[in-house]
């Protein structure tokens, strides 16, 4: 067997400790599949004394993670620090400058600085691997970049954040409100103390920016992703979705057509019969559509020590074998980004209105003026002079027209609160 591949691991949190555990427990399997042993030579983390459930005996310790790039005993740098800048970016750039392959699970770094880092890596001929950056243990990166390499991809989409999927699933199953379920998710460790990155859609958008770059052969462009989260989803909307034959999911969706490439993250109503509608709890799913393969869906755990460590070590095996794929899959496309205002689709609207004559006529008149066609309407019960919910679904129309109509509807004196809008997606 060849000389062992010695790695340096920066960041010994959940994922970093998971990588060390996996290599210790499955070292024989990894060596057989890599063609040589993969060993940990050096590590770096913020604190030395913390119990991580793994032994660090015999490993070189660097207080400064960037020092791993200069360690002569490190063949590959594994960056598991996180964050879009700071020591994570400094380490990755130093490792590439030193000609050392990099494996990272850092979606924020790649989403924000991926174009520059990829250019640097390819200019130096250095492998940059990031399977663990999107959807944890699901082989989404390999699936797009290798398994579907013969296809022209039209769309890639998915449930890319387990925290949001857990919250929406629990709200649906238990009829509870968002704030209550979020607090429970934090208590169970499914949501961070500051959950903003998750519930506001930023984490999913980081991942979608990477998937879109891979699917369409374009530089990663986080700024082009339209982002909405799930804070405004209510138990009432989830119940109405069920009546209409839908489930609400936070989806990341990127597509390509003759106008260019669109990328968006927002809550969607998907038909209950769609496979992705049945992906519940903390699970993730990635759907890709190719011209020859058709539609493919991968499902699994999108986070956690085991699944993410599995993806990290899969990249290490590729590097040990000398398998090196261009970062974004080859020549880059310069197709323009399509703004959200140009999106066409169907919509769910929920209004809380005073129950009085003429309200529905006013609302439908505004939609008519915007050339927006109604598909259905739900109104439950009568309560003259009081607030009642009215639910409308539309046929396909342009986002800009829907937004303009919604502004006019919200300004009606009979509309008592901000209208709820959820896009309908037939995945």
Is 250:266 a contact under the CB 8 Å cutoff? yes
Q: Which helix (H) or strand (E) holds 93?
A: helix 86-97
- What separation in angstroms does the CA of 196 have from each of 51, 54, 181, 285, 356? 28, 31, 15, 21, 39
Antiparallel, parallel or unpaired: β 294-301 and 226-227:
unpaired
- Name the catalytic one among 100, 142, 207, 249: 207
Across 209-315, the runs of DSSP E, i.e. the strands, are 226-227, 246-257, 260-271, 283-290, 294-301
Q: How far is CA 70 from CA 9, 99, 101, 320, 367, in A?
A: 13, 10, 13, 20, 63
**Measured distance CA(292)–CA(297) in Å, rounded:** 15
Phi, psi (degrees; rounded to nearest 5) at 8: -115, 125
Q: Cα(404)–Cα(383) distance, rounded to whole angstroms?
A: 29
* Angle subtended at Cα 21 by Cα 167 and Cα 303, rounded to the nearest 5 degrees: 20
In which region does residue 264 sit, left (phi positive, over 0), alpha (psi from -120 to 50) or beta (all else)?
beta
DSSP 295-316: EEEEEEE-SSHHHHHHHHHHHH
Query: Residue 68 and residue 78: Cα distance in Å, rounded?
Result: 9
In b/e form, how buried is each residue of 79-88, taking b as 16+ CB within 10 angstroms?
bbbbebeebb
In this structure, are residues 36 and 3 in contact, taking their beta carbons and an 8 Å threshold?
A: yes
Residue 108 tokens read as 């924020």
The yes-or-no answer on residue 207 being catalytic is: yes
Q: Which residues are catalytic?
A: 207
């Amino acid at each position: 067997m060849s000389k062992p591949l010695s790695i340096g691991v920066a960041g010994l949190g959940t994922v970093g400790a998971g990588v060390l555990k996996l290599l210790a427990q499955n070292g024989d399997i990894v060596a057989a599949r890599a063609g040589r042993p993969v060993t940990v030579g050096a590590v770096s983390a913020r604190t030395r004394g913390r119990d991580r459930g793994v032994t660090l005996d015999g490993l070189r310790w660097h207080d400064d993670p960037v020092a791993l790039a200069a360690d002569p005993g490190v063949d590959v740098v594994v960056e598991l620090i996180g964050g879009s800048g700071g020591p994570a970016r400094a380490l990755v750039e130093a490792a590439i400058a030193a000609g050392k392959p990099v494996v990272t699970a850092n979606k924020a770094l790649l989403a924000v600085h991926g174009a520059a880092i990829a250019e640097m890596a390819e200019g130096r001929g250095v492998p940059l691997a990031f399977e663990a950056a999107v959807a944890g243990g699901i082989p989404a990166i390999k699936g797009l970049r290798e398994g579907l390499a013969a296809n022209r991809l039209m769309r890639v989409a998915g449930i890319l954040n387990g925290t949001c999927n857990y919250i929406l699933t629990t709200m649906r199953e238990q009829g509870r409100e968002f704030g209550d379920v979020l607090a429970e998710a934090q208590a169970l460790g499914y949501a961070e103390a500051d959950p903003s990155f998750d519930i506001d859609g930023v984490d999913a958008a980081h991942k979608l920016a990477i998937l879109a770059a891979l699917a369409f052969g374009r530089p990663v462009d986080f700024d082009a992703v339209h982002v909405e989260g799930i804070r405004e989803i209510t138990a009432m909307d989830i119940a109405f979705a069920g009546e209409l034959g839908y489930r609400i999911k936070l989806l990341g969706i990127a597509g390509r057509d003759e106008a260019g490439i669109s990328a968006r993250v927002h809550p969607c109503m998907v038909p209950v019969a769609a496979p992705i509608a049945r992906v519940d709890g903390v699970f993730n799913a990635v759907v890709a559509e190719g011209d020859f393969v058709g539609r493919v869906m991968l499902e699994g755990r999108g986070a956690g020590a085991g699944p993410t460590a599995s993806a990290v070590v899969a990249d290490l095996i590729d590097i040990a074998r000398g398998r090196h794929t261009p970062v974004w899959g080859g020549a880059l496309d310069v197709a323009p980004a399509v703004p959200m205002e140009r999106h066409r689709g169907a919509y769910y609207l929920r209004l809380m209105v005073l129950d009085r004559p003429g309200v529905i006529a006013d609302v439908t008149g505004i939609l008519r003026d915007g050339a927006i066609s109604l598909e259905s309407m739900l109104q439950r019960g009568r309560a003259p002079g009081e607030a009642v919910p009215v639910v409308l679904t539309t046929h396909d129309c342009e986002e800009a027209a829907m937004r303009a109509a919604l502004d006019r509807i919200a300004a009606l004196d009979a509309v008592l609160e901000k209208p709820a809008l959820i896009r309908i997606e037939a995945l």
